[in-house]
Amino acid sequence: MYGIALDLGTSGFRAQLIDLEKKETLKTVITMGHPLPGGNVMDHLDFAITTGEDVAHEVIIETIRRMFLRFDVDLSRVERLAVCGNPIQLSLFQNTEIRDLAYAGENKQKMLGVRNVKRDARVFPASEIFGENDLPNCEIIVPPAIKHEIGADALAMMLETDFLIQPEPSLVTDYGTNAEMALKIGDRIITASAAAGPAIEGQGISSGMLASPGAICDVKPEGQYWRIIVLDREMEKQNAYLIDPVTGEIKESYGFEAVGITGTGVISAFALALRSGMIEKFPKLPNGKLILGPGIEITEKDVEEAGKAIGAIRAAHMTLIVESGIKYEDLEYAYMSGASGAYVDAEDARRLGAAPGYAKKIVQFGNTSLALARELVLEESRLDDVIAIAKKITADHLMMATSETFNNFYLCELSYWTQGMPLETYDQMLELYGLPPLPKTLEHVNIEKRVVKDIEEVGSGGLSILKEIGIILEVPVEKCVYCKKCVKECPETALEIVEIDGHRIAKYDSQKCLGTSCRRCVSVCPEDAIDITKLKITAK
């Protein structure tokens, strides 16, 4: 019999088929993006609220179905499916209330008649979600949230690292589009999340891609050249070629090709360019770009995007420390998890501010959400332990969106990354805000890497990538005059207008569409013909 561990991440889904008798991973399937329109969790939430949670739920379930078909096994033999992710993804998966996650203010909630929902652990038949045919003999296991704003993904990040048993001040961060983090001082835990944006995982930058085969995940200096390091089919780091990042001249190659760059590669390239004096101040690059391979460039616009992501994380870390009342130098441990946490050169991350340079020890882990889902699949009794631990954790959540301290730090970060504000001016700004000066980056710290890749074993069946999920959302556009302005305006070629039996229909590629943060097709339409609240799912 089989089990499936599923991680519903903001930037993509990961699923593993597991042989329950042999306790072995058989195959891993990942997507290269989230199936819902939009680049971050708030876009997904907004889509679900404006277009309908049923539609969002259907898109997610259809994506998971398509992933499971890639396992190429008799799905009636799947007994257990454990699912982990943040509260928004897990609620959309289960088609349960999400409005409490959108409207945090008490007054707004009262006005709309919305109440905070308890997201306890659940075990229920898969037929409730997948119908009678897909997984007929399977039960679904969903781990609990710690409390309203602190979801199962945050619990996974604490459980799967040493964070919970660490007596000394420690910080854990799950690096992703929405970076979850928690600070522990004795028994006190404060959680937070920073809307870092997709650039931290390599999306939303010109040659960017998620951590997957062919992605540049690291660069190392070799004389005047840079050694390009890419992920292979097994998601392991491999030396590719030597390149001059200013001229693009390639010197020698080991046969591994690069197809794009992921977030950790961007961090590495920035750190190296800073160290070698190629960058004096952000976002200026030599000749306006760094060349990392044929057709693979980092532009100054990318520096700004990635800088905003790194800046959001650094600002959130500093906010947590300052608001908790400890000093930067009190921090002993920083745990890093997620694909970016696993593949990044921690030394580069420290130098750039993506990891706290003031932590004395850094420990790197992989995908903790998937790791927890795996445990829940493999050991039926593990869920009871997890529930008991979650109940014991008393944590407070710090809302970055309403924190003045975060706001002040983030303003400084924006000026540093996008306008080249010198660090001396950064410190002067902090003094004006009544905040302590920037923490010193320690010269030598202890860095321990517990994993070599974010998904430890992909299984004997290897890694299968569902690059294009192919889910189409459509809406009739009765007033359409077929001017195609919307199609031309779309930056992602996500939209087409078709005519069927004399009726015009707008068809959206759900995965490609940027959603709420874009809406250019809607605003450019001279006839006001597109009503995105009426989108419905259709198969391609």
Q: Residues 143, 152: contact at Cβ < 8 Å?
A: yes
Q: Closest approach of Cβ 488 to ligand SF4, in Å?
A: 9
The smaller minimum CB distance to ligand SF4, of residues 1 and 481, is found at: 481
Instruction: Give the binding range for ligand SF4 (CB under 6 A) out of 194-202, 371-379, 408-416, 513-521.
Output: 513-521
Q: Does 514 bind ligand SF4 (CB under 6 A)?
A: yes
Over the range 477-492, which residues count as b (16 or more CB within 10 Å of their CB) and which as e? beebeeeebbbeebee
Q: Which residues contact 277 (CB under 8 A, 6 or more apart)?
A: none
SS (H, E, C) 55-86: HHHHHHHHHHHHHHHCCCCCHHHEEEEEEEEC
Contact status, residue 344 vs residue 366, Cβ threshold 8 Å: no
534 binds ligand SF4 (CB under 6 A): no
| 3-class secondary structure, 497 | strand
Q: Is 520 in the site for ligand SF4 (CB under 6 A)?
A: yes
Q: Give the footprint of ligand SF4 on residues 477-496 (CB under 6 A).
A: 477, 480-486, 489-492, 494-495
Q: Which of residues 158 and 497 has its CB atom nearest to ligand SF4 in the complex?
A: 497
| Shortest spacing between CB 515 and ligand SF4, in angstroms | 6
Q: Which of 92, 146, 150, 529 binds ligand SF4 (CB under 6 A)?
A: 529
Q: Positive or negative CA dihedral for 515, 65, 144, 4?
A: negative
Q: Under the criterion CB under 6 A, does residue 97 sit at the interface with ligand SF4? A: no
DSSP, collapsed to helix, strand or coil, labels residue 193 as strand
508 touches ligand SF4 (CB under 6 A): yes
**Nearest residue (CB) to ligand SF4, 19 versus 527:** 527
Give the CA count within 13 Å in the CB-facing half-sphere of 18.
24
Nearer to ligand SF4, 152 or 494 (CB): 494
- Measure the CA–CA gap between 299 and 279, rounded to whole angstroms: 12
CB of 502 to ligand SF4, least distance (A): 14
What is the rounded distance in angstroms from the CA atom of residue 382 to the CA atom of residue 370?
Answer: 14
Based on the number of CB atoms within 10 Å of its own CB, is 288 exposed (0-12), middle (13-18) or buried (19 or more)?
A: exposed
Task: Give min distance, CB of 511 to ligand SF4, in A.
Answer: 11
Q: Which is nearer to ligand SF4, 520 or 534 (CB)?
A: 520
Asked if 519 touches ligand SF4 (CB under 6 A), the answer is yes
Each residue 423-462 as x (binds ligand SF4 by CB under 6 A) or -, in order, gives: ----------------------------------------
Number of residues engaging ligand SF4 in binding (CB under 6 A): 28
The answer to whether the bond into 491 is cis (omega within 30° of 0) is: no
Residues at the contact surface with ligand SF4, assessed by CB under 6 A = 477, 480-486, 489-492, 494-495, 497, 506, 508, 513-514, 518-521, 524-525, 527, 529-530
